[in-house]
Structure 1
């Protein structure tokens, strides 16, 4: 065989030998152990329209609440930290993408050196002190034959998508928490106002019993009962004032404001939330839950990370080249005769590494198992988060219906007592007693109404709060 033909066959023979050795890559016996749940099998696989929509709080017909949530989403430190994590994950994805492309750089050096008289440098430089000068353009490209870098990029994109979903989850949780805290403040203010009415009613009752006691109609026990209710109700008013202050402070903290920033806020409890539930609930849960989406993205990232680790068992193929000038002394440094260039292919294959790669692959599969377990847990928790409010809403509807009937009965009793009093058929005491019963029923109605509104907000959050997933493939270019 001619020398030229042998030189052409040599690289192919080397590559064939390397690929043959690659067959020795041994990751057998290392497999994931946790099985991923099938979301479609759990939720029935049906479909429903996108609900709720993004920015659902603007449809509650309460400008104060909408302004609070908008300000919080802009100023809340937790959201700002989540945004920083997204930017970091996107930057890491960009770094992973750069491994797919060639690297090009330039280097220059100047070394002052005395050459040995009996070394490798011959006369006339032997025994003299000269400058060694180099200027080179360097290039390197790791040819991703086995997909290691592509898998690493997909893993980084998955983490970036998971971070973006986490940010959305934090935004939706914050919006829901502000809405719930706002409605709780409205409930406390309504109960505080009702406690003021009750204080007025009890004061009038105490004065009436005092006169009846003086006239010998009522006993001292009746008098003590009537007058003792006044400090008890004053205590309840003070407790409501404390809770109202704490509720305002909580809202201020959630909105990223100082504790006294919303001291003048006095929301009213609405009769209902002006967002109708969809007719079918909610089979396509995964499309609307940011936390479940983030967990699923992390499973995908862990799968790709395991693939990248598996590819480390196979050869690395690097194409390297350089071109430039090298000379002893400045005077001839950049002359044509001092130019140098070269190109080469470097192959490396792990054969014996004392189990390092197998250990790394075990770490990757363990990370995958952990991600799958976290996804399974997030999915089951999401399904429970929806089931609980639906159960509560059904029970509250029945309770509110019964309470409405009880409240209407108490209102009729109060009106009848007033009519009898105006007709001189009954005394004022019967009117005050009927009014006490009516106030108690109003208290119960306010609490049930507030619970129903709070549960509606919980359901909105459980259904994802209007989340829409961001495709991971676009994140590296944002």
Structure 2
């Protein structure tokens, strides 16, 4: 007598062959090293292990990043995608195991006597079975390939969530520093406006004492009007920067934020160890996501190939059946049923071949997307390293330009008051100083934005470690 407890171990011991093609990851289509002249001489932990609290020391920015991680809708959607992908992977994996259920029934019925219209006796039937329902013997790896593809997509969603967090941390930092730049530009515009108003007042006094002409007053009034227009433009940029920051946070700006620090004294780490381009494959979740998408596409090919071969499913049950509850578990009441089924596709109008071609095309697309992601990552790091190597020298040179412009303005003002130079010379010195200060401010903003870009492009932003935690981790390493 064949029994289900004997069948199950035999079923579970069947090893499926796999029709998945061997997956060979494409070589990274980038140079083996970043450009030598762009290498940053960083030390300590790699950026991917460096906590954003250590990277960005401004307490106000740290608080904003905390709010964004709690409230940003894009990150919330990415988290929900991970949560949805996990049960899908579990469902696909469950198909590799037999579904066993317990079925109990009791039936009572009354029928007509044979050849008569009179009611016959009442009969009853009792049954209790352990049943195996339509379990596919995965001899050609179709179910296994589908399970592998679902697992890879789940892992891809996890890496996608990590990539979304890195992008969010970088976006908050970029929006915050853009807001600080806009605010300091407004402050500079207000200072410039005050200087031009003071210059206008001086021109009017000199006109009243017949020491200057109406042309000098008109020129000063024109400069004040231009300063007013620039101030209004700066205030508009600040409002837009506030809106952008609030959007990326996903909530209004709290009133109890720590005070902001000026760009000149922002505690942002300037130099980070870049390592080799191959390190990006381990440190950037978006590249790991693209890799898992490729793994899933390769598994889909195995499932599409297996669909050409026979599918064998097994339905079986073992239990007891009796007309009396008292005799239900009597050994003589044992019943069993074994019903294997085989299905071989013969003609489906080319559907199976089309599905296989589609799976192969999807794999080619995944390879192209993976290679493009690697190239984009290499470009982002190389560009940020180029900025790291040049911004310090450029800011130092611009500081010298500001100092020289301040000295020139001081001398021009003395000569104008003494009547040695005309108004045009003073105006030119004032314009030069204003332009030099604006350029210095823009350079500082660009320098910090480049630091954020390098941190993000190297995979930083997953951890919230502060400086002390990073020191301890680095010492342990």
Query: Could you state the TM-score of these two structures normalised by the residue count of structure 2?
Result: 0.78
In structure 1, how many angstroms separate the alpha carbons of the residues matched to 2:69 and 2:274? 30
Residue in structure 2 matched with residue 137 of structure 1 by the alignment: 130
Segment of structure 1 superposing worse, 312-321 or 257-266: 257-266
Residue in structure 2 matched with residue 310 of structure 1 by the alignment: 305
Equivalent residues of 2:65, 2:172 under 8 A apart: yes
In structure 2, how many angstroms separate the alpha carbons of the residues matched to 1:98 and 1:418? 84
Residue in structure 1 matched with residue 293 of structure 2 by the alignment: 298
Residue in structure 2 matched with residue 458 of structure 1 by the alignment: 453
In structure 2, how many angstroms separate the alpha carbons of the residues matched to 1:452 and 1:153? 47
Deviation at 1:185, TM superposition (A): 1.0
In structure 1, how many angstroms separate the alpha carbons of the residues matched to 2:296 and 2:50? 27
- Can you give the 5+ residue segments of structure 2 that lack an aligned partner in the other structure? 1-18, 464-477
The residue correspondences of 1:324-335 to structure 2 (distance < 5 A) are: 324-327=319-322, 334=328
Candidates 137, 152, 162, aligned match of 2:156: 162
The residue correspondences of 1:24-103 to structure 2 (distance < 5 A) are: 37-39=26-28, 42-44=30-32, 50-103=46-99
The 1:352/1:279 distance shift into structure 2, 3 A limit, reads closer
Q: Deviations over 1:26-85 (max 9, x none)?
A: x9xx999xx97421x523179997324342343322111111112211221211111111
Does the alignment pair 1:336 with 2:330?
yes
Residue in structure 1 matched with residue 234 of structure 2 by the alignment: 240
Deviation at 1:465, TM superposition (A): 1.9
The residue correspondences of 1:344-383 to structure 2 (distance < 5 A) are: 344=338, 346-354=340-348, 355-383=350-378
Equivalent residues of 1:50, 1:466 under 8 A apart: no
In structure 1, how many angstroms separate the alpha carbons of the residues matched to 2:388 and 2:334? 80
Does the alignment pair 1:211 with 2:205?
yes
Residue in structure 2 matched with residue 226 of structure 1 by the alignment: 220
Deviation at 1:446, TM superposition (A): 0.3
The residue correspondences of 1:434-453 to structure 2 (distance < 5 A) are: 434-453=429-448
The 1:268/1:401 distance shift into structure 2, 3 A limit, reads closer
In structure 1, how many angstroms separate the alpha carbons of the residues matched to 2:246 and 2:238? 12
Q: Deviations over 1:131-160 (max 9, x none)?
A: 554432212554333222222222112111
Equivalent residues of 1:302, 1:371 under 8 A apart: yes
Equivalent residues of 2:21, 2:298 under 8 A apart: no
Deviation at 1:127, TM superposition (A): 5.4
Equivalent residues of 2:277, 2:378 under 8 A apart: no
Equivalent residues of 2:271, 2:388 under 8 A apart: no
Equivalent residues of 1:185, 1:267 under 8 A apart: no
Deviation at 1:285, TM superposition (A): 1.9
Equivalent residues of 1:117, 1:127 under 8 A apart: yes
In structure 1, how many angstroms separate the alpha carbons of the residues matched to 2:404 and 2:161? 50
- Can you give the 5+ residue segments of structure 1 that lack an aligned partner in the other structure? 1-26, 469-478
In structure 2, how many angstroms separate the alpha carbons of the residues matched to 1:351 and 1:338? 42
The 1:50/1:317 distance shift into structure 2, 3 A limit, reads farther
In structure 2, how many angstroms separate the alpha carbons of the residues matched to 1:282 and 1:241? 42
In structure 1, how many angstroms separate the alpha carbons of the residues matched to 2:226 and 2:121? 104
Residue in structure 1 matched with residue 196 of structure 2 by the alignment: 202
Does the alignment pair 1:390 with 2:356?
no
Candidates 147, 171, 179, aligned match of 2:173: 179
Residue in structure 2 matched with residue 268 of structure 1 by the alignment: 262
Deviation at 1:270, TM superposition (A): 3.6
Equivalent residues of 1:144, 1:150 under 8 A apart: yes
The 1:282/1:404 distance shift into structure 2, 3 A limit, reads farther
The 1:263/1:427 distance shift into structure 2, 3 A limit, reads farther
The 1:302/1:184 distance shift into structure 2, 3 A limit, reads same
CA RMSD of aligned residues (A): 4.0
The 1:304/1:244 distance shift into structure 2, 3 A limit, reads same
In structure 1, how many angstroms separate the alpha carbons of the residues matched to 2:61 and 2:203? 45
Q: Deviations over 1:404-433 (max 9, x none)?
A: 3322311332455578799x7979977786
Equivalent residues of 2:75, 2:164 under 8 A apart: yes
Aligned residue for 1:298, secondary structure, equals helix
In structure 1, how many angstroms separate the alpha carbons of the residues matched to 2:292 and 2:253? 38
Residue in structure 2 matched with residue 17 of structure 1 by the alignment: none
